Structure 1
Amino acid sequence: MTKHILPPVAKKISVQLEKHGDIRTDDYFWMKERDAPEVLDYLNQENEYYHKLTANTKDFQKSLFEEMKARIKEDDSSVPYKHNGFWYYRRFETGKDYPLYCRKEATLDSEEIIVFDNNKMAEGYSYFSQASYAVSEDNMIAAFGIDTVSRRQYTIRFKNLKTGEIYPAEIKNTTGGAVWSNDNKTVYYTRKDEETLRSNQIFKHTLGTDPSQDELVYQENDETFYTYVFKSKSKDYIMIGSDSTMTSEFRFASAAKGTTDFKVFQERTRGLEYAVSHYDDSFYIQTNKDKATNFKLMKTPVSATGMENWVDIIPHRDDTLLEDVEIFKDFLVVSERSNGLNKIHIKRWDNSESYYLPFDNETYDAYPTTNIDFDTQILRYAYNALNTPASVIDFDMVTQEKVVLKEQEVLGGNFDKDNYNMERIWATAQDGVKVPVSIIYHKDTQLDGTAPLLQYAYGSYGSTTDPSFSTIRLSLLDRGFIYAIAHVRGGEYLGRKWYEDGKLLKKRNTFTDFIDVSKHLISNSYTSASHLYAYGGSAGGLLMGAIVNMAPELYNGIIAAVPFVDVVTTMLDDTIPLTTGEYDEWGNPNEKESYEYMKSYSPYDNAFAKAYPNIFVTTGYHDSQVQYWEPAKWVAKLREMNQADTKIMFHCNMDAGHGGASGRFEALKEIAEDYAFLLDLESITQ
């Protein structure tokens, strides 16, 4: 990297922020003024500095991009699934960034019908995203959502699939999804609060009417909850869900016609979580009722849904997390997790048979996919591993025979999964807890402490990072990098308690687990501090911010993507999108104990004078989840505090949001930037 180029210097305007008698000084609070000329000027200066600083890697970035792109089958397509007499699938065309959504009537030999061509729809937009679309039960009308800004505020439109006509009605500021009643003329959708972007209203729209006349069906007034709507797999019920981090509530109504008469399934009770599936004359409930930390499966009659009527079907197990269920006419399929590993449990309703699908390693990911029909003995599931491309498999639950419908192709001709070694190891955290780590590396890479290693984690919201395959990652592995996923507390890899022990007033466990994994990898000669790198995004970007303050000496480089780093200020501002719904995850800083605990780890508040490693921070100007000013302020403060001769770089995509660039190949260019940053630090130039 070029050393003599000077970074932009952000002006300092001190703002005093007081809470609970404590005063924090924020010199860069002014960056919150979205679209202000001085803010845009500063962000553009940062981008210019980034491009100058990385000019020496531009050609390498291009070759990395072409290399990653070359492994992807450009004219790829998904495995078709059948629904209401039509086969649906998605496909790409060579050289194009966006998918085509297609269907065929009756048989796969029928003529293809292109429902949506996102390449044409994206023309003229720097960003484009189509939400999933929903087709009416008579197969005639598709409701679809479009976002061209990247704020995740979708506009719903309607398309006549017989004539191709796009109806004039536009329903703005939605989540993008729509749910049809069985009358083929009524849809339900979720609208967002304009300011906070919280999903807080369910509306009913009748085809052919003015959306301004749509009827409000449900309003979620509790600012810590969000709401959503869906149809039961049985097609008998429209369901409205309301969720917070710790509590659930559902309403249901007949899907026969466009009703507004919804009945509460079970009133919300603080700490009670549940999810509902319908089959025949019963509802099936996944729930933590009765202190079932890892969840259990219960059942109740359609006519009596209160929890006093719920009875156990699968009891709670301390060593097994119940993640999901899939209901069939003769079989119940349960997605479980024990000792960190996905398991698919198949059992007959009459209890005459019960077995697990066999998997033969510890670094795989398996899960049911599209299973729309009740009356079938075929389960469709997906499987992949760190060294094994993804497969879609149809499994006959009666004969126990499987058919691999598709295996992901890795183009280029030189991929062989046997060239890569996989391991699962366990690191000891500072409190004695064992933290699992999934690892992959090329068989020629020596484990003598000299190899570069990229360590990844997320570690929040109970979201589990399973060890899955990536063609993109091969560009690091084939250049001698080791890749390690740290399954830190805050995710659910080892069950619900693993999540509970990494949130609220135990959040620091997430950070110390990651650091202790790093120490373990160094002490066991996987790498060394001069070759260790860390990556995380969003809440994982918070993790990056925390570890770089707590143990900067362990890392040569850090990539923090859309990082949530100004924790205290953001969580005190309930006008910022998503804030109030996060109180049960991070705590409510309006309460002194939570405030002080958050302040103890908030990356922005704990950036003090020290020797920081090389850091690359990315964000999107339109990000609705982590606002652009958090990483912008953090970078300015890090530069001010840095005592080392290292580079702190910041790239703000002015056209993107939380997910980065749209289009499968544009997104690869951003990954090429990340990889070039790492490889340049290792003096790897080709």
Structure 2
Amino acid sequence: MTTDAASLTPPVAARTTIVRSHHGDDVEDPYEWLRAKDDPAVIAHLEAENAYTAARTAHLSGLRDRVFEEIRSRTQETDLSVPSRQGHWWYYGRTVAGKQYGIQCRAPLASADDWTPPVLAPDAEVPGEQILLDSNVEAEGQEFFSLGSFDVSTDGTRMLFGVDVAGDERYTIRVRDLVTGEQLPDEIPDTFAGASFSPDGRFIVYTTVDDAWRPDTVWLHEIGTPVDGDVTLFHEPDERYWVGAGFTRSERYLVISLGSSITSEEWLVDAADLRSEPRVIWPRREGVEYDVSHAVVDGEDVLYILHNDGALDFELVRVSAADPQGARLSVIPHRPGIRLLGLSTFRDWGVIGYRREGLARLGMLDYDASSVSEIAFDEPLYSVGTGGNPEWAPPLLRLSYGSFVTPGTVFDYEVATGELLLRKRQPVLGGYDPAAYGQARVWAAADDGTQVPVSLVWKRAFGDPGEAPRPVHLYGYGSYEHSIEPGFSVPRLSELDRGVVFAVAHVRGGGEMGRQWYEDGKLLAKRNTFTDFVAVAEHLIRGGYTTAERLVAEGGSAGGLLMGAVANLAPESFAGILADVPFVDALTTILDPSLPLTVIEWDEWGDPLHDADVYAYMKSYTPYENVREGVRYPRILAVTSLNDTRVLYVEPAKWVARLREVGADALLKCEMVAGHGGVSGRYNAWRERAFELAWLLDVLGVAD
């Protein structure tokens, strides 16, 4: 930090007297007034915070530019995705140098039995190519642009797309005739993401949200008719449940799915008669989750149901589609420690995703034998999943694969032979050599002795981790059973090439080690998430991997709550903390059922509004209310967005104001036109990440 930067005076938020009263506990909150988003004083304060942050980080402008150029120079800006077959077309996406957004395209099949995707060169003309949607054109004149729905009818004649230009995740659906190029008059505002055509292309199925931003209603729109005549297919009044809908790959059924954090329910609608009454598959039962896939076995319509009814890590059963509540055939029995994740069904076989020994796996399901054969990969750490498989009866299965050192890779798995066919590996320009980097997993002991997995990736030229203390960037999340996968990152190379070790603490509350791992980091066990992260940091320090002065932590959203909590628990263990859209005023939010997501979140955090014990427990860890006097906090950067509907900007704004009261060096950066995912456009996103990495490198003392 330069002398001029050190002498700058941060904005001081006005203090008012607002009292929150629950369970006999009165809490004065001097910064709650910042919640009034439309108040000019609030906007002025946020703009002052941005100006202060800009001034405090002005000395990093050169580093930011270098990191941005490193990201850009390593990225093949003009590129194409691997085409995916649907109907009579190959569908793929383009990116073009200098353009912020992707372009959706298609090209005709060479023949009906053509299953080998064409190899497309970035600058070469594609015979018969049609540009379906150029998001750069759609985004003209907009500060923000996000595509929330995109679908093409099965016959390939119509396209729908849903657009958000504010960042609040409310999308307007439009429809285009792909034969004539005409934009149809159908326009559906204020929808949620994920709309789709019916198999015959006559209808659009979409969802809308309630005042708390909960998707609660499924609608049916007939193309060419007024929107005010749309039919309600399903409405869920219970505020704990989100609603979604989609067609089975077989196009036999529309599945309407309801889910809270711990309970689910699914309904079937015959796709040939979408106005027919939905029928429930299994009536909801508190704590029971399940997911349904349709298949045809021995000529019978069946449903494969993945569920946790008496099976902590889930079981796969098969039932008759005509009588889903009847007899259950066990296909994959419950096996403790092997967490079944999801099933995709095709005409002749299925593919099951599961997690074993902390890694995601894929196995082929033989319908007749009810047996699974795992698809093997060589690396000790990797991530794998299915993707781009819209067809019902393909001979190939499209896979996405990667690791901390292997760039994103697309394979086609030939089911008949078991051969993996490499279709494309993400190009990394500038002579990237995977062998120059290492990845490994180590284990840290938590306070209660639980072994917490820690993933590491580094550049070998600087020596192996643990040989000598190195700067370390430690990432964590630890909520919603979400697992942090070993994935490749181009921006991360700018850290690794400067000698930084990137580490992931796979703390409890995530899903890396099975469902129990999640259960042990939620509700009244939430503190395990925080203490696990601190234990990992202390393990890295004690083991000689790093020092407290060379350790920066990062987390976003619920991971931002983790960042705020560990800043209070162990400020001495970190040099800096980067908190993206951080959920740091958790108790205030979860006490207010009118706010987006609150009621459904009670299954994750508990219900402090009605339960005094939950209230006391959350109050003991929520970051904003536990900022400590008399300690030296690490340097903190909080990044948020004004239009975020998931974690409101007010949370980090209040947190930073409170941190400043105790003398913390805290910065707030608020995007004034963006949502939960930050800025839109790939170049804007690269610049945003370059800003964060420059700050992080500066804290670590490796800024050049």
Q: TM-score, normalised by structure 1?
A: 0.97
CA contact (8 A) 1:488 1:513 kept: yes
In 1, Cα distance between the equivalents of 2:316 and 2:558? 30
For 1:493-508, what aligned pairs fall within 5 Å after superposition? 493-508=512-527
Q: Secondary structure at the match of 2:280?
A: strand
Q: Which residue in 1 is equivalent to 2:418?
A: 400
1:388 equivalent to 2:409? Answer no
Q: Which residue in 1 is equivalent to 2:503?
A: 484
CA contact (8 A) 1:182 1:257 kept: no
Report sequence identity in percent.
Answer: 41
CA contact (8 A) 1:238 1:255 kept: yes
Amino acid at match of 1:13: T
Q: Secondary structure at the match of 1:304?
A: coil
Counterpart pick for 1:309 among 306, 310, 327: 327
**What does the per-residue CA deviation read over 1:535-578, in whole Å, with 9 as the maximum and x for residues that have no partner?**
00000000000000000000000000000011111011111111
CA contact (8 A) 1:392 1:407 kept: yes
Amino acid at match of 1:671: R
1:539 equivalent to 2:548? Answer no
In 1, Cα distance between the equivalents of 2:276 and 2:542? 62
In 2, Cα distance between the equivalents of 1:352 and 1:632? 54
Q: Secondary structure at the match of 1:436?
A: strand
Counterpart pick for 1:62 among 54, 61, 65: 65
- Structure 2, unpaired ranges of 5+: 111-117, 119-125
Moved over 4 A (4+): none
**What does the per-residue CA deviation read over 1:61-93, in whole Å, with 9 as the maximum and x for residues that have no partner?**
111111111111101111111111111111101
1:459 equivalent to 2:475? Answer no
In 2, Cα distance between the equivalents of 1:168 and 1:343? 45
Q: Secondary structure at the match of 1:90?
A: strand
What CA RMSD, in Å, does the superposition of the two structures yield over aligned residues? 1.4
Q: Which residue in 1 is equivalent to 2:221?
A: 205
Amino acid at match of 1:625: R
For 1:209-358, what aligned pairs fall within 5 Å after superposition? 209-280=225-296, 281-289=301-309, 291-306=310-325, 308-351=326-369, 354-358=372-376
CA contact (8 A) 2:627 2:658 kept: yes
Q: CA deviation at 1:309?
A: 2.7
1:572 equivalent to 2:591? Answer yes
In 2, Cα distance between the equivalents of 1:662 and 1:352? 45
For 1:609-620, what aligned pairs fall within 5 Å after superposition? 609=629, 610-620=631-641
Q: Secondary structure at the match of 1:238?
A: strand
Q: Secondary structure at the match of 1:167?
A: strand
Q: CA deviation at 1:137?
A: 2.5
Q: Secondary structure at the match of 1:176?
A: coil
In 1, Cα distance between the equivalents of 2:162 and 2:78? 24
CA contact (8 A) 1:183 1:257 kept: no
1:88 equivalent to 2:106? Answer no
**What does the per-residue CA deviation read over 1:359-418, in whole Å, with 9 as the maximum and x for residues that have no partner?**
2233211112222233233121121111111110011122122210000100112x1111
130-139 or 515-524, which moves further after superposition?
Answer: 130-139
Q: Which residue in 1 is equivalent to 2:27?
A: 24
Q: Which residue in 2 is equivalent to 1:112?
A: 129
CA contact (8 A) 1:202 1:219 kept: yes
In 2, Cα distance between the equivalents of 1:29 and 1:22? 17
In 2, Cα distance between the equivalents of 1:101 and 1:499? 38
Q: Secondary structure at the match of 2:16?
A: coil
In 1, Cα distance between the equivalents of 2:285 and 2:700? 53
Q: Secondary structure at the match of 2:79?
A: coil
Q: Which residue in 2 is equivalent to 1:450?
A: 469
Q: Which residue in 1 is equivalent to 2:114?
A: none
- Structure 1, unpaired ranges of 5+: none
In 1, Cα distance between the equivalents of 2:229 and 2:349? 44
In 1, Cα distance between the equivalents of 2:199 and 2:376? 39
Q: Secondary structure at the match of 1:242?
A: strand
Counterpart pick for 1:372 among 390, 406, 430: 390
357-366 or 473-482, which moves further after superposition?
Answer: 357-366
Amino acid at match of 2:482: S
CA contact (8 A) 1:278 1:284 kept: yes
Q: Which residue in 2 is equivalent to 1:638?
A: 659
Q: Which residue in 2 is equivalent to 1:47?
A: 50
Q: Which residue in 1 is equivalent to 2:200?
A: 183
In 1, Cα distance between the equivalents of 2:278 and 2:365? 33
Q: Which residue in 2 is equivalent to 1:426?
A: 443
In 2, Cα distance between the equivalents of 1:352 and 1:504? 37
Distance of aligned partners of 1:601 and 1:353 in 2 relative to their CA distance in 1, 3 Å threshold: closer
Distance of aligned partners of 1:353 and 1:227 in 2 relative to their CA distance in 1, 3 Å threshold: closer
Q: CA deviation at 1:105?
A: 2.1
Q: CA deviation at 1:353?
A: 6.9
Q: Secondary structure at the match of 1:70?
A: helix
Aligned length: 679
**What does the per-residue CA deviation read over 1:281-334, in whole Å, with 9 as the maximum and x for residues that have no partner?**
101101001x2111111111011012x432211100002011111223332321
Counterpart pick for 2:82 among 79, 84, 88: 79
101-110 or 34-43, which moves further after superposition?
Answer: 101-110
CA contact (8 A) 1:181 1:257 kept: no
In 1, Cα distance between the equivalents of 2:482 and 2:578? 20
Amino acid at match of 1:196: A
Q: Which residue in 1 is equivalent to 2:692?
A: 674
In 1, Cα distance between the equivalents of 2:186 and 2:362? 43
657-666 or 99-108, which moves further after superposition?
Answer: 99-108
In 2, Cα distance between the equivalents of 1:345 and 1:137? 28
Q: Which residue in 2 is equivalent to 1:125?
A: 142
Q: Which residue in 2 is equivalent to 1:604?
A: 624
Q: Which residue in 1 is equivalent to 2:164?
A: 147
Amino acid at match of 1:231: F
Q: Secondary structure at the match of 1:595?
A: helix
CA contact (8 A) 2:550 2:701 kept: no
In 1, Cα distance between the equivalents of 2:251 and 2:568? 52
Q: CA deviation at 1:425?
A: 0.4
CA contact (8 A) 1:130 1:147 kept: yes
1:168 equivalent to 2:175? Answer no
Q: Which residue in 1 is equivalent to 2:121?
A: none
CA contact (8 A) 2:444 2:535 kept: yes
Counterpart pick for 2:604 among 575, 585, 593: 585
Q: Which residue in 1 is equivalent to 2:568?
A: 549
In 2, Cα distance between the equivalents of 1:432 and 1:264? 44
Q: Which residue in 2 is equivalent to 1:562?
A: 581
CA contact (8 A) 1:422 1:439 kept: yes
In 1, Cα distance between the equivalents of 2:692 and 2:154? 45
In 2, Cα distance between the equivalents of 1:457 and 1:118? 33
In 1, Cα distance between the equivalents of 2:276 and 2:37? 39
Amino acid at match of 1:368: T
CA contact (8 A) 1:325 1:333 kept: yes
Amino acid at match of 1:604: Y
1:3 equivalent to 2:10? Answer no
In 1, Cα distance between the equivalents of 2:173 and 2:497? 44
